Structure 1
Amino acid sequence: MAPMLERFASPGKGNGLRATTAIKSGKLLFSTDPLASCVSTKVAKDVCHRCFARHETLLRCSQCKMARYCNITCQKQAWSDHKRECKCLQSILPRIPTDSVRLAARIIFALMNPAKSRTEELYSLNEHESHLSSMPEQKKQGLSQLASMLEIYLQQEVPELALEMTSALPQSCGQPLDLIAKVTCNCFTISDGELQEIGVGLYPSLSLLNHDCRPNCVMVFEGTKLHLRAVRDIKPTEELTISYIETLSLTEERQKQLEDQYHFTCRCQKCDSQDTDTIMESGEQATWQKLMEALPKLEELQAASEWQTLRESCARLLSAEGSDVPDENLYKLRLTDMALDAAVHLGHWEEATTHGERTLPIYRRYYPDPHPVHGVQLMRVAKLQHYLERIQDALNTFKQAFEILKITHGIDHPLVADLLVKMEECRFEMDQ
């Protein structure tokens, strides 16, 4: 661990990480590979299971039929991690275990391999909290089902694993239920440069980071490598925090999600002040409530890639109830983002640009610090403006995106490299 960070006892929170020196905004604090990771099932056909890069065509493992790779090189490099998993996947075809079960199995495989030992970790798997003692019985039953699935997944093709678990795993997670509980409470969602979910991974030392709804650090991924960066100036001994969840939601929603998933009540300044709740619910409740009630169905259409139906539904709502709701309203913003997504997938570029530009002032308001979500939204809109040959607008928007992403992602991140290329293209086209 870099000397600028240290583990400490955080009052009221348990373990934490704090700064040992003054840290400037944009500083890379720590980079690490996961103890174990796996591609999410929902993108398993589109993402390389070795390097986590997206490709339209991928090589498929001829045995398990699930794992996919960029090329032979990635496939060979992945084999040492995939060979046990491959047998397990074959044993339960055509079923595919959940992401948490597959990740738990990969953790076991990693800990059984002496080459994977990570003595430099500040936080061991043994110290991770499972929260089983404080967990509602209904959730514990759900985890018990996953633990049973893990046992079936491991035992059918490699039965000796059932015995090896006890010796390979730390004492506190030698039972499948303990391990599954620790995985669900401590794993991180791995995202691509544009913040789309592509996998899950366990990064033991960074599980020390505590939550804040307005954190002073962000995590950004490059493949499976996790980069922790400061997004505000941090004083010596100040605790380093990240957000465990998407913070663009009401205080009550954020707190419920944190309690359900991570088993604590957030008492950060943003939650105590509820400073954005009034703005997020601006407008007449009777009107915006119709937008709120429509969102679950629209999310189903989005998940199913029913883009034309989604576009028509969003257009109808935005022109009817939505016309009387301020743009700052949280539910209208979510609806506008869905309309943008649908328009992009259908190639309606002017419509997509209009929706995107409408969201930018709202994103700026709700993400006052440099935030990757705001930066990625700016970059997305800039690409649309560029496609429509609105070169000056595109360059200005790219510049705004760069000011954020150079802090959240770092100047060397592939997404920022792509952004710089786009800015040069705009300058060249303006000169022509």
Structure 2
Amino acid sequence: MPPKLKRFVSPGKGNGLRATVRIRRGELVYSAEPLACCVSNKLARDVCHHCFSRRENLLRCSQCKMARYCNTTCQKQAWCGHKTECKCLKSLRPRVPTDSVRLAARLIFALLSPSKSSSEELYTLEEHESHLSSMSENKKQGLSQLASMLELYVQQEVPDLAQEGASALPPSCRDPLSLIAKVTCNCFTISDGELQEIGVGLYPSLSLLNHDCWPNCVMVFVGTKLQLRAVRDINPEEELTISYIETLSSTEERRRQLEDQYHFTCRCQHCDSQDKDGLMLSGHKSTWDPLKEALPRLEGLKAESDWQALLEGCSHLLSTVGCDVSDENVYKLRMTDMAADACIHLGHWEEAVGYGEKTLPVYSQYYPDPHPVHGVQLVRVAKLQHYLERIEDALDTFKQAYRIIKLTHGDDHPMTAQLLMKMEECRAEMVQFNSR
């Protein structure tokens, strides 16, 4: 089968990818395994370091004490890639390198391994941009610290990246600072079916994809395999785009994040028209500003899993603003979402479904279907409805989710299979109830 995409020079953006044939929405455009990947440090105890599945009671590597695996099969299959990393982790213990340092090191080990080849890639690592010339001195200083950590981390296996032992690396990848910069600018967050972060990976060809705040493609993962799917019909020669960031924010905030992280100013139609800003920032600024100001503190509580304090903070602020701030206001929506998260972790199911249901009409406005974020939110609410034995509501919500997920994730994704099973459960329970 001929490829559905090809590399080209995108005006004003540099390199890009465009379609070679007509692509229907929901169609798989491209899939790729990572050149290098690693589980996020914050989930190192909960996710298998080989297949990236969430599991309880994972087996721990007896040498480095960090890597964990589903079973001996995963452990044996991972050993070829882990054995070098294992020595480096042991040498640095009890310190643990950051995700970006571990990913850069895994990339070095992969490139130095004769079994690993990137000859089929559309975009070589040498071509990847580091963006060092456009970075602030503060950011360069932060990356320099990471580069020093990288050198320390790999020194037992690669004593000097610039010397003969690393000659198999592309020249720019022998400079630790340049390599760290390339990794941070070009890596992808690996997520599970419900879009929760589990790791980071490098997929060189897909680094060619340019950003759009309303893209025509989305990325989902099956384990570490990245799948690029169309969410709109795409014509031959049309550019393929993804969103680099979570788009649930105002134009000003999106542009600031893209400039800080990816070093460009977004000029997509969504940004230039600022078409959703009026809705996202609805209400008087003096009324919703306390919500905006409180978000960093509340996000900190969420990161620390302090669910009780998070719920108290969110519920107090939401009750304070009441109807003076519409549900469409983006800061109120984020706070409502966090309140639902807190309730789920605390087992407050009725309260959780109330918060969740309040978000659904707003999600449908901000995430044009089919969008995986809207689909996953529907799944989350449907599971709560099902647990509370609101079977008809749950079935209807699961159906809405399925119509989205089958397009964004594909028919063969575990998430799609799970949804079909949930709908069958609801139907069986309704039959059983009606037969009483």
Q: Which residue of 2 aligns with 1:372?
A: 372
Give the aligned residue type for 2:127. E
Q: Which residue of 1 aligns with 2:345?
A: 345
After TM superposition, the runs of 4+ consecutive aligned structure 1 residues lying more than 2 A away are 156-166
Q: Shift in Å at residue 114 of structure 1?
A: 1.3
- The unaligned stretches of length 5 or more in structure 2 are none
Q: Which residue of 2 aligns with 1:329?
A: 329
- RMSD across aligned positions (CA): 1.2
Distance 1:68 1:138 in 2: 35
Q: Shift in Å at residue 165 of structure 1?
A: 5.8
Distance 2:230 2:293 in 1: 37
Q: Which residue of 1 aligns with 2:385?
A: 385
Q: Which residue of 2 aligns with 1:276?
A: 276
Q: Which residue of 1 aligns with 2:313?
A: 313
Q: Which residue of 2 aligns with 1:29?
A: 29
Give the aligned residue type for 1:134. S
Q: Which residue of 2 aligns with 1:150?
A: 150
SS of the equivalent of 1:114 reads coil
In the TM superposition, 1:356-371 aligns within 5 A as 356-371=356-371
Q: Which residue of 2 aligns with 1:58?
A: 58
Q: Which residue of 2 aligns with 1:135?
A: 135
**Percentage of identical aligned residues:** 75
Q: Which residue of 2 aligns with 1:301?
A: 301
CA contact (8 A) 1:50 1:74 kept: yes
Instruction: Find out whether 1:46 has 2:46 as its counterpart.
Output: yes
Give the aligned residue type for 1:300. G
Q: Which residue of 2 aligns with 1:206?
A: 206
Q: Shift in Å at residue 234 of structure 1?
A: 0.4
SS of the equivalent of 2:15 reads strand
CA contact (8 A) 1:148 1:176 kept: yes
Q: Which residue of 2 aligns with 1:196?
A: 196
CA contact (8 A) 2:17 2:208 kept: yes
Distance 1:158 1:368 in 2: 48
Greater Cα shift, 215-224 or 294-303:
294-303
Q: Which residue of 1 aligns with 2:85?
A: 85
In the TM superposition, 1:206-225 aligns within 5 A as 206-225=206-225
Indicate how the Cα distance of structure 1 residues 152 and 333 shifts in structure 2: closer, same or farther if over 3 A, else same.
same
Distance 2:165 2:315 in 1: 54
TM-score, length-scaled by structure 1: 0.98
Q: Which residue of 2 aligns with 1:96?
A: 96
Greater Cα shift, 64-73 or 154-163:
154-163
Distance 1:58 1:161 in 2: 34
- Between the two proteins, the alignment pairs up a number of residues equal to 432
Q: Which residue of 1 aligns with 2:237?
A: 237
- The unaligned stretches of length 5 or more in structure 1 are none
Greater Cα shift, 33-42 or 1-10:
1-10
Indicate how the Cα distance of structure 1 residues 381 and 2 shifts in structure 2: closer, same or farther if over 3 A, else same.
farther
Distance 1:164 1:303 in 2: 43
Give the aligned residue type for 1:316. H
User: Deviations for 1:178-205, whole angstroms, at most 9, x for unmatched residues?
Assistant: 1111101100000111111110000000
Distance 1:139 1:431 in 2: 60
Distance 2:373 2:294 in 1: 24
Q: Shift in Å at residue 63 of structure 1?
A: 1.0
TM-score, length-scaled by structure 2: 0.97
SS of the equivalent of 2:115 reads helix
Indicate how the Cα distance of structure 1 residues 71 and 2 shifts in structure 2: closer, same or farther if over 3 A, else same.
farther
CA contact (8 A) 1:151 1:162 kept: no
CA contact (8 A) 1:166 1:175 kept: no
Indicate how the Cα distance of structure 1 residues 200 and 210 shifts in structure 2: closer, same or farther if over 3 A, else same.
same
Q: Which residue of 2 aligns with 1:409?
A: 409
SS of the equivalent of 1:16 reads strand
Give the aligned residue type for 2:3. P
SS of the equivalent of 1:373 reads helix
User: Deviations for 1:105-127, whole angstroms, at most 9, x for unmatched residues?
Assistant: 00010001111112111111111
Distance 1:111 1:258 in 2: 29
Indicate how the Cα distance of structure 1 residues 64 and 347 shifts in structure 2: closer, same or farther if over 3 A, else same.
same
Distance 2:14 2:275 in 1: 27
Indicate how the Cα distance of structure 1 residues 165 and 402 shifts in structure 2: closer, same or farther if over 3 A, else same.
farther
Q: Which residue of 2 aligns with 1:113?
A: 113
Give the aligned residue type for 2:419. L
Give the aligned residue type for 1:258. L
Q: Shift in Å at residue 2 of structure 1?
A: 5.2
SS of the equivalent of 1:168 reads coil
